[in-house]
C-alpha cells in the first residue's frame, strides 16, 4: 500500500510547505495519538517528544503537543536531544512512543517528524498506515477531563549520557586520548562531548553552538572538513563527527583522513568476531563499498545488502537475527547495544576495538581500501526499469564483464526525484568514470 505522507524515515519536507506546516503537524499528532490510544487497551498513553536545534522546532513541537493533547495523550518534553536518545528514553520510561522533530543531516529550513514505538524501534508500516488513515478524519477534541497533560523532563540529557557510557566496557577508559568531537550544531551539542570526557578523554568540542540556523552548516558528519582541520590544529589523536540528529558517524585520524560508515562498521564487526559476539553476519546496503564486502569475506563474515535506508538495514538484520549493520553514510546499528543507529554508541564501539587491539584508526581500517565510486544522476520523464531496456542492458553487461570481481554497476530510481542514479564502482577511478558515463548515456538515450 502506497503512503501519502510517510517516507522511509517519517514525514519530512521544507518548513512552511505542506506537509511541514503547523496545522498538518497538529493533525499528525492527533492522528498518532488516536492510533496509540486505540492500541493501549483503555490505558492513557504517554509519548515523549524530542527535537534537534532547528528554529522551526519550537513551532512544530507546540503543534504536536496540541494534537496529542487533543487526542487525550500525555506528553513529555525533553527539548533538543539526539534521535537515538529519544528511542532510548521511550524504552527506558516504558512509554507508548517517542517522537523526534528533525530533518537529520538536511539544512535548517527543512524539518520532519519521525516516530519510535515503546520498544525504541521505528513504527512498522501498518501503524504508519493507520496514522495516515486517521489524518484525514475530523479532529474531535477529547472532553476537558480527558485532554492530555504536558510536562518537561529536566534530567533527560544526563540519563542518555549514562546510557551511552554503559555501552563502553567498565574496565576500559579513554585516558591519554585527545579527541575532537563535532556535534554539527545539532541535537548532540550538549551531550556528545560529555560522554567522551566523562570516560577520560581530553575533548575539544566544535559544532556545539547552535543558533537555530547553523545545524549541519559546514560542520558535522556531512561536512567533515571542519573536523579534519580541528584535529590537525589541536594535534588530536582522533576526530568524531555526528550529524544534526546524532545518528550518523564519521571519524578522522590524527593525519586528518576521514573514515566512513563502511570502514567503521568493519572495525566494529571484526572486533565482535574476535570477542565471539558477532552471531551471524553484517548487513550493508546497495551502496556499501565492494572493498568493505571483500574485507568481510576475508574474515569469513557473511554479508548481505539491503535497500538504501537504515530502516531497510534494520529490517534485514532483524529478519536474519544479525546484530550489526549500517550504511556508508555513517548510520551504524549495533543491536547488541541499542535498538537504532546511534553515532555516539557506534563511536564508542570503534574506540573499544582500538583500545583492546592497540591499533590506530588507520591500522584498524587498513583492510578496507575503498574503491572509487562514480555517481551520475540522469533526468528521466518516468522512473521505469531502465536496466531491462536492451540498449542499457548491453552496456551494463559489457561493464560488468570488464569489471569482473573488482567493481560493481548499480542502477536505481531515486525515490524523491525524477532521475535514475547510475553508480559504477571500480578499483580504478578512470575505469569507473568511463563506464558510468557510457551507462548514463545509454539510459539517457533510452528515455528519449
Domain ranges of the chain: 11-154, 159-256, 259-365, 373-446
- Mean pLDDT computed over 367-381: 93
- Mean pLDDT computed over 362-366: 97
Share the mean pLDDT of the chain: 94
Lowest mean pLDDT of 6-10, 130-134, 308-312, 357-361, name the range.
6-10
Do residues 439 and 392 make contact, with C-beta atoms less than 8 angstroms apart? Answer: yes
What element of type H or E holds 120? none
What is the CATH T-level fold of the domain 373-446, as seen in this structure? TATA-Binding Protein (3.30.310)
Q: Model confidence over 154-165: pLDDT tens digits? A: 999 999 999 999
CATH of domain 259-365: 3.40.120.10
The confidence band for 401, taking pLDDT boundaries of 50, 70 and 90, is very high
- Mean pLDDT computed over 79-86: 98
Could you tell me which residues are beta bridge partners of residue 333?
325
Tell whether the model's pLDDT for residue 448 goes beyond 70.
Answer: no
What per-residue confidence (pLDDT) applies to 327?
97
Tell whether the model's pLDDT for residue 219 goes beyond 80.
Answer: yes
Cell 579534519, located at residue: 228
What element of type H or E holds 17? none
What is the CATH T-level fold of the domain 11-154, as seen in this structure? Alpha-D-Glucose-1,6-Bisphosphate; Chain A, domain 3 (3.40.120)
What per-residue confidence (pLDDT) applies to 383?
62
Strands 282-285 and 303-306: parallel
What per-residue confidence (pLDDT) applies to 8?
77
Domains 159-256 and 259-365 share a fold: yes
Residue 290, C-beta contacts closer than 8 angstroms, at least 6 positions apart: 371, 406, 407, 408, 425
What per-residue confidence (pLDDT) applies to 415?
65
DSSP 416: S
Tell whether the model's pLDDT for residue 394 goes beyond 90.
Answer: yes
Cell 532547528, located at residue: 54
CATH of domain 159-256: 3.40.120.10
What per-residue confidence (pLDDT) applies to 43?
82
Q: Active-site positions?
A: 104
Phi, psi for 44 (deg, rounded to 5): -80, 115
Amino acid at each position: 500500500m502506497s503512503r501519502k505522507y510517510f517516507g522511509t524515515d517519517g514525514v519530512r519536507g521544507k518548513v512552511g510547505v505542506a506537509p511541514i506546516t503547523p496545522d498538518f503537524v497538529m493533525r499528525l499528532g492527533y492522528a498518532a495519538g488516536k492510533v496509540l490510544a486505540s492500541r493501549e487497551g483503555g490505558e492513557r498513553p504517554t509519548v515523549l517528544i524530542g527535537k534537534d536545534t532547528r528554529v522551526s522546532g519550537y513551532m512544530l513541537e507546540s503543534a504536536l503537543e496540541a494534537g496529542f493533547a487533543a487526542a487525550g495523550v500525555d506528553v513529555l518534553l525533553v527539548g533538543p536531544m539526539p534521535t537515538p536518545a529519544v528511542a532510548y528514553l521511550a524504552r527506558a520510561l516504558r512509554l507508548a512512543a517517542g517522537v523526534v522533530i528533525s530533518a537529520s543531516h538536511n539544512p535548517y529550513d527543512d524539518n520532519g517528524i519521525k516516530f519510535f514505538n515503546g520498544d525504541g524501534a521505528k513504527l512498522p508500516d501498518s501503524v504508519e498506515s493507520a496514522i495516515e488513515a486517521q489524518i484525514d478524519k475530523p479532529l474531535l477534541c477529547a472532553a476537558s477531563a480527558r485532554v492530555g497533560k504536558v510536562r518537561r523532563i529536566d534530567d533527560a540529557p544526563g540519563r542518555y549520557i549514562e546510557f551511552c557510557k554503559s555501552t563502553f566496557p567498565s574496565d576500559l577508559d579513554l585516558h591519554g586520548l585527545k579527541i575532537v568531537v563535532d556535534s554539527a550544531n545539532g541535537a548532540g551539542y550538549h551531550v556528545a562531548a560529555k560522554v567522551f570526557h566523562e570516560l577520560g578523554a581530553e575533548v575539544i568540542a566544535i559544532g556545539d553552538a547552535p543558533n537555530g540556523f547553523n545545524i549541519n552548516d559546514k560542520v558535522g558528519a556531512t561536512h567533515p572538513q571542519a573536523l579534519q582541520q580541528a584535529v590537525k590544529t589541536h594535534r588530536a589523536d582522533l576526530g568524531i563527527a555526528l550529524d544534526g540528529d546524532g545518528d550518523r558517524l564519521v571519524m578522522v585520524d590524527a593525519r586528518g583522513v576521514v573514515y566512513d560508515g563502511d570502514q567503521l562498521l568493519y572495525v566494529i564487526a571484526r572486533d565482535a568476531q574476535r570477542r565471539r559476539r558477532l552471531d551471524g553476519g553484517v548487513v550493508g546496503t546497495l551502496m556499501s563499498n565492494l572493498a568493505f564486502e571483500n574485507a568481510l569475506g576475508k574474515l569469513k563474515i557473511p554479508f548481505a545488502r539491503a535497500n538504501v535506508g537504515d530502516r531497510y538495514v534494520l529490517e534485514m538484520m532483524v529478519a536474519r537475527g544479525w546484530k550489526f549493520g549500517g550504511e556508508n553514510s555513517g548510520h551504524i546499528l549495533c543491536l547488541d547495544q541499542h535498538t537504532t543507529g546511534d553515532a555516539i554508541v557506534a563511536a564508542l564501539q570503534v574506540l573499544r576495538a582500538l583500545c583492546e587491539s592497540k591499533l590506530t584508526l588507520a591500522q584498524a581500517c587498513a583492510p578496507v581500501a575503498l574503491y572509487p565510486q562514480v555517481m551520475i544522476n540522469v533526468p528521466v520523464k518516468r522512473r521505469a526499469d531502465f536496466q531491462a531496456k536492451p540498449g542499457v542492458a548491453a552496456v551494463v553487461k559489457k561493464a560488468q564483464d570488464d569489471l569482473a570481481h573488482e567493481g560493481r554497476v548499480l542502477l536505481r530510481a531515486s525515490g524523491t526525484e525524477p532521475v535514475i542514479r547510475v553508480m559504477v564502482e571500480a578499483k580504478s577511478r578512470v575505469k569507473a568514470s568511463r563506464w558510468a558515463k557510457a551507462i548514463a548515456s545509454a539510459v539517457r538515450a533510452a528515455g528519449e
